[in-house]
Structure 1
Amino acid sequence: MLKVLIASVGLWGATFGLMAHATSVVFLNPGTSTETFWVGYTQFMQAAAKDLGLDLRVRYAERDNQNTLSQAREALQGGRRPDYLVLVNEQYVAPQVLRMAQGSGVKLLMVNSTLTTDQAHLLGAQSGIDVIGSLVADDERAGYLMLVDLLRQHGPIAPGESLDLLAFSGVKTTPGAQLREQGLRRALAEHPQVRLRQLVYGEWTRERAFEQATQLFKRYPQTALVWSANDQMALGAMQALEDSGRSPGKDVLFSAVNSSPQILQARLDGRLSSLVAGHFTLGGWAMVLINDDAKGIDIRRHRDHEPQVALFELIDPAQARQLLELQAKHHYRVNFKALSAQAKPEGYRYPFGLELLMR
């Protein structure tokens, strides 16, 4: 009996030891705990962490940089330091977090928005900061694709004619918003028949974009196209158009980024003419990199383009339906363990992309 008890205690201790030594990760989520994009982003990230056996804790900043800094300080200088900290350079907060990380022993990975060139130059090669890499989506391409696809959906423009465009960007100091704007302007340069009547900052919210669009549709009644840097602003602008007695997808063509259930349904209904999505997967792919780094794998050797990943894709109605079904089940059918570079040939490259979900 005593031997059985000792064996049981030993087995329990071994199990507890494995649990206690699971690689720990803290994610500083810049969004709100009710924000559709960041909640969905976190769910995909949690699915990856669970599959990989990582101990993931998520802290929402509720769109307040001071919360981010307080949470970073707790993670990097408190008594319960994680092995890894995942952060977003939202509103350029990353340099302050990196300075806190000096000498902490915590490894950092940046997602969605990495250091700007000026920030990287100012920080230089400061010692005591261990950044294993960055993962950002091709935001400039997303902004470009939206307008180009809107024009494809619209069809030929008669010689001498032009189309009026309204644009809703996010927070002005967010790198992702700036890059999507750059993509928009690249597309505009290629299509001079499109006139950008006004670009406003809807701050990523449906309410703000609704207020702005209500005035803008009165100011520019000939508006034919609406470009939106996220889904919530597109939904707000659609509501404003409907309130004016017109129909999205018929009287005015709309575009958006993201893959919330509401915007996917709008794509299915034809109210939304162009949708670009894919970057909600970044957090999940970050978990794969962290898991490999914790195993001693040089993750840089298996990546072609640092830090950008080609994630954004145009979503047609069939894909919109498929994404809706995946979200409803909270099961993404991705074998995250199989994406590891462990035991892979030298030429292996991480195959991160939306196609892993859409098979």
Structure 2
Amino acid sequence: MKRCFIKLISLLVVTGVCAFSYPVLATVSTIKKPSIVFISPDFAESQFFNIVNKIMRDAADDLGISLEILYADDNPTTTIKIGTSVLNRTTRPDYLVMVNEVVATAKLMKLANQLGQKTFLFNADYQEGQYDQYQSKTWSGSLLPDDEQAGYQLAKVLVTEARKKKLSDKNGKINIIGINGDHRSRVSISRKKGLQVFVDENNDVELLHIVNAYWSKRRATETVENLLKLFPETNLIWSASDYMASGAAIGAENMNRVIGKDTLTCGIDWLPSTFEEIKDQRLSCSIGGHIFDGAWLMVLLHDQFNHFYPDFIQKRTHFSSINNENLSGIERIFDQELWKKIDYKKFSKAYNQSFSTSHFGSQLLIDELSTFSNTLNKERHVFNNVN
């Protein structure tokens, strides 16, 4: 009997089915499960937010969170309408989560403050001091990617590649045109600021012009065609999103440029739809990682609700670059079969006392997904050989 018990324990450890895979608090039965409404700013079929919301929901399910996602269809008026409807409910959620939109978010946070409704900002940065009047009341904090860092890193990767390829004009200048998003968007403003900081730091780099294409692939194509007529000395096209970078590449090709050789472009977001373009070297890179931030949002709010974080918290996540050399590793983690395998309780202070906030960020999640990816590939290999 004793041998059987030892064998059983060994089997559980080998297969990863072990109740002690992470330290658990003695009061686990008293952990409360918050309810959350997230107003997703884009359409339900949005490439970026479709992935953000999917992994957010997987994390919520794992943590026992009641999550409702509503779609604002890229319309601030719709955001206000949806938010007001939620705030007028007889039973409101524990948290109302919003992406910062200058007019819509300010109105909703003001109303929420009057009603005593907790709010939380996600994904889009805000101007310093913009919401300070809410900090001591119902605004519970923010989880934001460092978009200025993203804009800076995007410019740095492009210029580094241009220097390797010796792409410069007769005066030794590397010339950039920029395709940005929406002029009202804090994301666009911050990414543009990062670009400008990099240009100011590098004497051999010239920013010729930057135009808003409002996150549209078609507009990006048309804008690049027009800009290349005005600035034929252009070597690099800085694009504030992958989607616009794809459009920029088309626009450059329409102007008889050879993308990847005489003209380089990159984007931001890690959209899977652009991975083939990176493989074909039509896009030199993609800056991202924040596409997984929805999972961290659920962990943060779950733990704050259970008093493992203060009543007001602010966290930032950072970006990483992928290119043709490291794409295969990143591409594997977008296999959605993997996302449900993650035990998000490992990253929750409510369940795991040893988890350190110094490890907080998408890279930890990416490392976890990579481990599952390698295991899953081995399982598939065995299955294919058997069949």
* Shorter-chain TM-score above 0.5: yes
Report the counterpart of residue 147 of structure 2 in structure 1: 139
CA, structure 1 residues 191+300, in 2 after alignment: closer, same or farther (shift >3 Å)? farther
Give runs of aligned pairs for residues 1-359 of structure 1, distance below 5 A: 22-121=33-132, 123=133, 129-155=137-163, 160-299=171-310, 307-332=314-339, 334-342=342-350, 343-344=352-353, 348-349=357-358, 351-358=360-367, 359=370
CA positional deviation for 1:328: 3.7
Q: Which residue identity is paired with 1:120?
A: Y
CA positional deviation for 1:289: 0.9
Quick one: distance in 1 between partners of 2:64 and 2:150?
A: 33
Give a deviation string over 1:138-184, Cα, whole Å, max 9, x none: 11111111111112112255794112211011111111111111110
Give identity over the alignment, percent: 27
Quick one: distance in 2 between partners of 1:300 and 1:22?
A: 16
Contact 1:154–1:253 (8 Å) recurs in 2 = yes
Moved more, 68-77 or 99-108: 99-108
Moved more, 292-301 or 253-262: 292-301
Q: Which residue identity is paired with 2:140?
A: I
Q: Which runs of 5+ in 1 are unaligned?
A: 1-17
Moved more, 290-299 or 194-203: 290-299
CA, structure 1 residues 138+77, in 2 after alignment: closer, same or farther (shift >3 Å)? same
Contact 2:225–2:251 (8 Å) recurs in 1 = yes
CA, structure 1 residues 240+292, in 2 after alignment: closer, same or farther (shift >3 Å)? same
Moved more, 342-351 or 313-322: 342-351
SS across alignment from 1:48: helix
Contact 2:125–2:187 (8 Å) recurs in 1 = no
Q: Which runs of 5+ in 2 are unaligned?
A: 1-28, 371-387
Moved more, 77-86 or 25-34: 77-86
Contact 1:281–1:354 (8 Å) recurs in 2 = no
SS across alignment from 1:167: strand
CA RMSD of aligned residues (A): 2.4
Contact 1:264–1:321 (8 Å) recurs in 2 = no
Moved more, 342-351 or 139-148: 342-351
Moved more, 209-218 or 321-330: 321-330
Quick one: distance in 2 between partners of 1:318 and 1:269?
A: 12
CA positional deviation for 1:202: 0.9
Contact 2:38–2:96 (8 Å) recurs in 1 = yes
SS across alignment from 1:42: helix
Report the counterpart of residue 13 of structure 1 in structure 2: none
Q: Which residue identity is paired with 1:149?
A: V
Contact 2:288–2:321 (8 Å) recurs in 1 = yes
CA positional deviation for 1:111: 0.8
CA, structure 1 residues 133+173, in 2 after alignment: closer, same or farther (shift >3 Å)? same
SS across alignment from 1:119: coil
What's the TM-score, normalizing by structure 2? 0.79
Quick one: distance in 1 between partners of 2:235 and 2:103?
A: 34
Quick one: distance in 2 between partners of 1:330 and 1:150?
A: 33
CA positional deviation for 1:321: 2.7
Report the counterpart of residue 12 of structure 1 in structure 2: none
CA positional deviation for 1:246: 2.6
CA positional deviation for 1:326: 2.8
Give a deviation string over 1:254-281, Cα, whole Å, max 9, x none: 1110111122222222111132101112
CA, structure 1 residues 160+210, in 2 after alignment: closer, same or farther (shift >3 Å)? closer
